[in-house]
């Protein structure tokens, strides 16, 4: 549905913090499914952990947040060129259930639960295969920057 070239047009993030490689499914205003290929070349694996590389949980949450931002921009018809940016407003119920290692494909399913007064609430689940790696409720807000 959306390759890396389209993602780079929609998100202001760049290496090493861009954590979405491809959008697999998109229903604007409803849900999105995106993919992150996890490779041994990721800079965080140098220190987390040298003897057993594991993707930090906070980066799994960031990958879901970037996926949520792509859903928000798709629904709003906005993007970084229009001087809109999406910020985290909160995270609730974050649970980490499986380590994510080099060679895994992290698939993020994010759905919009509600949008009120510029605050978006999403439900996100990140999986490796059939196993849930991480899940959380994410709150974000879209702001115009000058």
Q: Cα separations (Å) of 4 from 38, 74, 92, 119?
A: 15, 15, 29, 27
Q: How far is C-alpha 134 from the geometric centre of its chain's CA atoms?
A: 12
Q: Does the active-site annotation cover 13?
A: no
Number of H-type helices and E-type strands within the chain? 2, 6
Of residues 5, 13, 48, 51, which has the active-site annotation?
48
Residues carrying an active site annotation: 48
């Amino acid at each position: 549905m959306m390759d890396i070239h389209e993602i780079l047009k929609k998100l202001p993030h760049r290496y090493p913090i861009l954590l979405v490689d491809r959008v697999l499914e998109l229903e604007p205003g409803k849900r999105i499914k995106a993919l992150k290929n996890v490779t041994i070349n990721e800079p965080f694996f140098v220190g987390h952990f040298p003897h057993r590389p594991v993707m930090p949980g906070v980066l799994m949450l960031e990958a879901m947040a970037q996926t949520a931002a792509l859903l928000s921009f798709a629904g709003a018809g906005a993007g970084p060129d229009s001087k809109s940016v999406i910020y985290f407003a909160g995270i609730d119920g974050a649970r980490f259930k499986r380590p994510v290692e080099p060679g895994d494909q992290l698939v993020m399913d994010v759905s919009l639960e509600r949008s009120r007064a510029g605050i978006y609430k999403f439900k996100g689940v990140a999986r490796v295969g059939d196993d849930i790696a991480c899940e959380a409720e994410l709150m974000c807000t879209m702001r115009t920057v000058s």
